[in-house]
Structure 1
């Protein structure tokens, strides 16, 4: 597959379907626009699916799992073995995202895209491994450009396989010790926001480690990134394979007209990278929640989007995505089940229009 051609083949929202969805909402028994975001979210979903009343019955959260060489700079509170241990626990249904996804009847798809093989794998973890961990970007490039592209292509392959199985909406999650550091580095390199605004405490580090993390991100990016580097070069030099795989999911969603939901800081940075590759991808993305991670607001500021909810969550894994599934399904349910104004005795010409 030619990645550049794939990216450029993405088309925008279908305006006719959005107009039909808008007209449908405006003929339902309620003051026009009074359901606010439930209306605007589902109208955009209609434009994604080219369908007046959209459908997201079949849902999946794709979780990309990878290890990161930057771990060796002592910027994490957990050993690297946790990545594989948690991946095994996830396919067994034991983690937070599994419970939340189960509540919304969504499948959790666990993908090894770059983990160290530190022990026995549960056979239900999908093998799309590009390489076992990246390098330490503080001392050398995290990976080659070719590896980064392969990570994106593998993400596309995972998503397109699920689309062929009928999935109508994706959530995006990740597992990877030290991946808040790689995502902070990518955020810093692309946006030029100060490193101190891009670095958070991740899964829990002490203040000494936090200062190390800021130093590693600031100096690592300064040493690795050149002015002429494009976004894929940035991803390769200071990013991670979990981010690359999620970039592929966002691109595949846009290409195949399937909405994709952002979770926390790592998947949000992946969404940002995908939008840098083609701005039309933004139309296919829903931002789930405002992560408690310190850098999360900076992604929304840069992308000029806003999250649907704020619950002080910072688990990762894709755990924020099921809330978006529920919100969208609520809107679709209204579209399908609210009565038509024409069937009431209410004069449609005196309806209040709250959308104006």
Structure 2
């Protein structure tokens, strides 16, 4: 059998995930533009809605840098909150998409695989035993905890015959996540002061955002996203299975390591700045596959847009349903994500995993 040429390899990578990809370019561009337009509208709604009502003139004045009135000052405070929601939503969606590709598991998600739990445990340990509460220290220990949890889950899922199968990874992640949450509770219960400091972060939210926190976390988010985008072609090959991907010239181990590294960086940085927000990385990739297919060169940017839209919309809903108080965005995404999770399971995603087309059938 002749070795595949570079051209045939590129074609295989581009079409393996979705054989109808060639004729879907106009439709995909239309959906991307529609998503960007929706994102602009949701961002405007995030600036407009809150405890204090504002007018369009107030929004335009605040965007130009004016804070002379109370309304303009309120909008100025909402701008970094909106930007943080955009960044965190995109980061979690890209991380979830990459994890599903690496593990070939449609149920892969930073929360379900224990990565968010690892970040949470690391933050609790830093607060309780080392007094680490500064944003810089929280960022690094959360990323370290996420990385350790990811390596542990993959190692446990690789034990036994067959290697790291999708089902074994899902089971290892669920067990690890439960164990990590139990350890978090065990550390917090006898320490009321640490519990009070941790509980707001644990729910997951973007309230209290400021430009300093955004500047701190932005480099990590950018690096993680670039790593994932750089491995998009390799992710398409992973959907075919390791042997066929290797035959097409894809370095399977390197692709898995790089994509996993990118997703861990994204998840750790997002969790450090906003807390463990669940279901974004699970729900968004599935919805985007329905519209864009499974070519990760399209799926990753589409997931970033949809993840940002979901988190901004959830933040706006959380502010409106309990005015003048607010519901944290992590609670809203859980309410949205739980029914979708049940729908995915009912479709038989657990038993079939990521098929050769990269879809959850």
Q: TM-score, normalised by structure 1?
A: 0.30
Q: Which structure is higher in strand share?
A: 1
Q: Which is bigger in relative contact order (C-alpha 8 A, separation at least 6)? A: 2
Q: Which structure is higher in helix share?
A: 2
Q: TM-score, normalised by structure 2?
A: 0.29
